Amino acid sequence: MDMGLLGRTAVVTGGNSNIGRGIVLALAAEGANVVIAARDQAAGERVREQALAAGAKNAVFHSVDVVDRAQVGQMVVAVEERFGAVDLLVNNVGGNVAFAYFVESDPDTWRRDIDLNFTGTLNCAHAVLPGMINRASGRIVNIGSTAGLIGDPTLAVYSAMKGAVHTFTKILAKEVGPHGITVNAVAPYGTLPDDWANDVSAGSRWHADGVIAKRENSGDSPSIGRRTVLERQTATPREIAAAVVYLASDAAAFVTGQILAVEGGALLA
């Protein structure tokens, strides 16, 4: 099915790992120009090569910390100079830096969770919108979480920030809709990397040195998992990516301000 993305330029933040990698490869298969905006260059270059093999018209890695507004601005300028426009922004960067009940949490982690899950989304959207408004065209897809819909224990600030991403999505859709721009979000449930050894970046919480591995090894943290209504209890990156491709496509031109949950029915209980 032709999703109308051939030759369009997509910036995917955190595109070098897990969900972000899946999104990059799905957009590449549609013939898009893909920009992998992330910090780990080795992982980014690896995904860039995979994207070209998957069919990307062009694929580039751009080293950027999305929490730094100046770096984000420089990245957007570079992309617009090379490709002429940012047609699609996927705000994928996110994650938690620790697990703890809020009353026991370290306040130093709060700001890091806020920046990782929300500040970067604001920075990137703010940077691409002037160009999109000028062209009266554009797509923004934010990656939220089911945690932002129902809340996860030991992830109070992370859940709150994903909820903020969802609300920001709706408000921004109202503001920029008259300019021909759609803004939507995808809210995944637990999504495991295809290959834990090779498909995660150094900064990923799924990395061997990441917060999830440390949590699993500690053996003293309560489970935050929920049962789905399906045989399988976790999603794959390609399933999240399929939702992003739809929302970025011409088929979703009349869809905006929506939070599309990809969660296997985990929230039905």
Catalytic positions are 158
For residues 211 and 85, what is the distance between their CA atoms, to the nearest angstrom?
Answer: 36
Nearest CA to 19 out of 234, 212, 237, 194 is that of 237
For residues 48 and 43, what is the distance between their CA atoms, to the nearest angstrom?
Answer: 9
Tell me the H-state helices in the chain.
Answer: 18-29, 41-54, 69-83, 107-114, 120-135, 147-150, 156-176, 211-218, 237-248
**Three-state SS letters, 36-48:** EEECCHHHHHHHH
- Sheet strand arrangement including 33-38: 58-63, 33-38, 9-13, 88-91, 138-143, 181-188, 259-262
Handedness of CA 65, 76, 5, 139 (dihedral sign): positive
Burial grade of 1 (CB within 10 A; 0-12, 13-18, 19 or more): exposed
For residues 253 and 256, what is the distance between their CA atoms, to the nearest angstrom?
Answer: 8
What are residue 11's DSSP bridge partners? 35, 89
For residues 143 and 240, what is the distance between their CA atoms, to the nearest angstrom?
Answer: 9
Tokens of 259: 């939070």
C-alpha angle 75-164-132 in degrees, rounded to nearest 5: 40
